[in-house]
């Protein structure tokens, strides 16, 4: 707990035969990495309560996969029995998560079987009713064909795999629908500027070599707990200085607080301030920009200034080190950007534009691929198609629901925040009549008269790799061209006066799977009952 998680709360009380290992106070351990303690127990005396006494290890089917609770792409093993996932454990990947995973990655798996969509639904007379696949797909196809291309669009959620994103874009392109956006939070990333403009270019393992880190508008403790643990490890080795420009939060290591005013970043980009001097003097500096900073109204300006700071810090340094880094929070985000799921034309609508058009009844059809973190208008003439695994926020507004598969129920490609393509593997089958997402879109394309030219997952991937070859390099990492950061640094736009804020307010409830989890709900309630001041004091 002290050396890895950075939280000094686990210890021994009493003496001799009365000695107990426990928390120092009567409360839960305030760490997002606490469950890793159990993996280190040499005799198995520590057990995980959610699956304790439920199954023997040799009864479980073990499937190597990838975690999607954040954008790190931690290596995990999914253990299942019959149709149920019982536990998720870490696998060793020194380049990404070493041997750790966050508590959310480990314990949210009970949400995979709760609040599931296992049957198509169609809204009739204001109420959703069960329907057959044929009926649901026919209704969707008719609406898509009738909609004017400029009055239709799609939003992609945070847990979508690359295969279904590629199939969705392909289908919409054949229908001449150009308004599609994978940036559910409204982040101002532009793929045309170059891949390095939206990647964690120094790599996750590169943190081990960094000597000065500037955090801009991010709280890595809740946005990427395992990555924050890596920064903590580097701090314990000595010689690391960290500066935080953003909301003051409790990290697990000391840092120099630089305020929350974006103008401070502009000053640093112009060469003013003591911390920019530290970055310039560092051998391997890092600038880490959070997804919340990029999602601001002035996100493009923030990214441009951060790129200028990173380039200034790299002047005179050896080639091969890129100091500009973006810490994404969504597992689907990098693959979506790689595949170009952003509006490109002048009249194409982004997420904000689509939602605004829907609120004003200027949108005929809105397709939601697992998009549950948006605020849809509760009523209106817009026909909403929702394809996803859980009956979360957007499903309640949908006119048609197409039940898809969760990440443990399909083989799908995810690209982590540093640009590393990785694959999940199917551990269990989707429940009920739910199907893999790419297969749903393939069936829908035939009904819409625009049949996609692939009948198998292998054929789909071949088409996808021809468009985005980097997705074929599974498990490997290729350095992105620095030109993307240089192009980003030249994009100037005005700053707003709003202070930086943390986009994740509750670490345990960030996606539909986590929100369906009883364990995550319990942890969220426990954390909330302690209060922000108690959490800050405990962490410090």
Please, what sign has the CA dihedral across residues 218, 88, 423, 233? positive
| CA-closest candidate to residue 345, choices 179, 172, 144, 190 | 179
Residue 538's H or E segment, with its range, is helix 518-539
Q: Which pLDDT score is estimated for 316?
A: 81
Which residue stretches of 238-332 are H helix?
262-269, 274-281, 291-294, 299-314
Q: What are phi and psi of 162, to 5 degrees?
A: -65, -35
Query: What gap in Å lies between CA 339 and CA 483, rounded to an integer?
Result: 19
Q: Which pLDDT score is estimated for 28?
A: 63
Q: Which pLDDT score is estimated for 24?
A: 62
How does pLDDT run along the chain (540 residues), one tens digit per residue? 778 888 877 777 888 998 887 776 556 677 899 888 888 888 877 888 888 888 888 999 999 999 999 999 999 999 999 999 999 999 999 999 999 999 999 999 999 999 999 999 999 998 999 999 999 999 999 999 999 999 999 999 999 999 999 999 999 999 999 999 999 999 999 999 999 999 999 999 999 999 999 999 999 999 999 999 999 999 999 999 999 999 999 899 999 999 999 999 999 999 998 999 999 999 999 999 999 899 999 999 999 999 999 999 998 877 889 999 999 999 999 999 999 999 988 889 999 999 999 999 999 999 999 999 998 988 789 999 999 999 998 999 999 999 999 999 999 999 999 999 999 999 999 999 999 999 999 999 999 999 999 999 999 999 999 999 999 999 999 888 899 999 999 877 788 889 998 889 899 999 999 999 999 999 999 888 876 544 444 444
Q: pTM score, two decimals?
A: 0.93
| CA-closest candidate to residue 187, choices 102, 59, 293 | 293
Residue 141, C-beta contacts closer than 8 angstroms, at least 6 positions apart: 444, 447, 448, 449
Separation in Å, CA 393 to CA 161, 242, 516: 20, 38, 11
User: 162, 412 in Cβ contact below 8 A?
Assistant: yes
Q: What one-character DSSP code corresponds to residue 229?
A: H
Which residue stretches of 129-259 are H helix?
133-146, 162-174, 220-223, 225-237
Tokens of 23: 């928390």
Query: What gap in Å lies between CA 447 and CA 519, rounded to an integer?
Result: 41
Separation in Å, CA 423 to CA 127, 178, 470, 502: 38, 28, 13, 29
Query: What gap in Å lies between CA 415 and CA 84, rounded to an integer?
Result: 26
Tokens of 471: 């997705």
Q: Which pLDDT score is estimated for 320?
A: 82
Q: How many CB atoms lie within 10 A of CB 450?
A: 18
Which residue stretches of 238-298 are H helix?
262-269, 274-281, 291-294
Tokens of 321: 């080190």
Query: What gap in Å lies between CA 119 and CA 20, rounded to an integer?
Result: 50
Residue 266, C-beta contacts closer than 8 angstroms, at least 6 positions apart: 305, 495
Q: Which pLDDT score is estimated for 21?
A: 77
Query: What gap in Å lies between CA 349 and CA 362, rounded to an integer?
Result: 12
What ranges make up the beta strands (E) of 362-425?
A: 365-369, 383-388, 400-403, 413-415, 421-423
């Amino acid at each position: 707990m002290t050396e890895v998680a950075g939280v000094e709360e686990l210890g021994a009380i009493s003496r001799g035969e009365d000695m107990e290992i426990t928390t120092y106070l009567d409360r839960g351990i305030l760490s997002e990495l606490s469950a890793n303690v159990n993996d280190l127990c040499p005799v198995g005396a520590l057990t995980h309560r959610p699956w304790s006494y439920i199954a023997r290890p040799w009864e479980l089917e073990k499937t190597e996969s990838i975690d999607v609770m954040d954008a790190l792409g931690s290596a995990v093993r999914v253990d299942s029995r019959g149709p149920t996932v019982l536990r998720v454990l870490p696998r060793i990947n020194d380049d990404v998560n070493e041997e750790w995973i966050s508590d959310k990655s480990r314990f949210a798996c009970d949400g995979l079987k709760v609040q599931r969509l296992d049957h198509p639904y169609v809204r009739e007379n204001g109420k959703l009713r069960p329907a057959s696949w044929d009926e649901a797909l026919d209704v969707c196809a008719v609406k898509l064909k009738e909609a004017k291309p400029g009055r239709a669009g799609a939003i992609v959620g945070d847990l979508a795999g690359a295969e279904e994103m590629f199939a969705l874009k392909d289908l919409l392109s054949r229908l001449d629908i150009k308004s599609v956006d994978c940036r559910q939070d409204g982040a101002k990333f532009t793929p045309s500027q170059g891949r390095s403009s939206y990647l964690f270019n120094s790599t996750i393992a590169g943190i081990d070599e960094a000597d000065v880190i500037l955090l801009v508008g991010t709280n890595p403790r809740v946005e990427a707990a395992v990555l924050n643990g890596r920064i903590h490890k580097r701090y314990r080795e000595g010689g690391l200085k960290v500066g935080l420009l953003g909301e003051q939060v409790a990290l697990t290591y000391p840092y120099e607080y630089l305020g929350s005013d974006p103008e401070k970043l502009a000053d640093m980009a112009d060469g003013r301030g003591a911390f920019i001097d530290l970055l310039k003097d560092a051998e391997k500096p890092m600038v880490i920009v959070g997804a919340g900073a990029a999602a601001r109204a002035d996100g493009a300006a923030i990214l441009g200034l951060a790129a200028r700071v990173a380039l200034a810090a790299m002047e005179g340094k050896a080639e091969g080190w890129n100091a500009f880094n973006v810490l994404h929070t969504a597992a689907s985000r990098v693959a979506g950007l790689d595949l170009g799921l952003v509006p490109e034309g002048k009249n194409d609508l982004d997420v904000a534009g689509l939602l605004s058009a829907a609120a004003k009844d200027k949108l005929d059809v809105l397709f939601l691929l697992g998009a549950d973190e948006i605020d849809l208008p509760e009523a209106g003439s817009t026909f909403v198609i929702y394809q996803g695994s859980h009956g979360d926020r957007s499903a309640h507004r949908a006119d048609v629901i197409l039940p898809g598969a969760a990440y443990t129920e399909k083989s799908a490609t995810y690209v982590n925040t540093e640009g590393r393509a990785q694959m999940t593997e199917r551990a269990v089958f989707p429940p009920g009549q739910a199907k893999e997402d790419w297969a749903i879109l393939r069936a829908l394309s035939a009904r819409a008269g625009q049949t996609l030219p692939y009948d198998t997952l292998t054929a789909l991937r071949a088409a996808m790799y021809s468009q985005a070859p980097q997705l074929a390099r599974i498990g490997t990492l290729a350095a992105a061209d620095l030109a993307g950061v240089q192009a980003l640094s030249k994009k100037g736009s005005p700053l707003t006066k709003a202070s930086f804020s943390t986009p994740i307010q509750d670490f345990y409830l960030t996606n539909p799977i986590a929100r369906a989890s009883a364990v995550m709900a319990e942890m969220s309630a426990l954390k909330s009952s302690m209060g922000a001041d108690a959490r800050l004091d405990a962490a410090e």
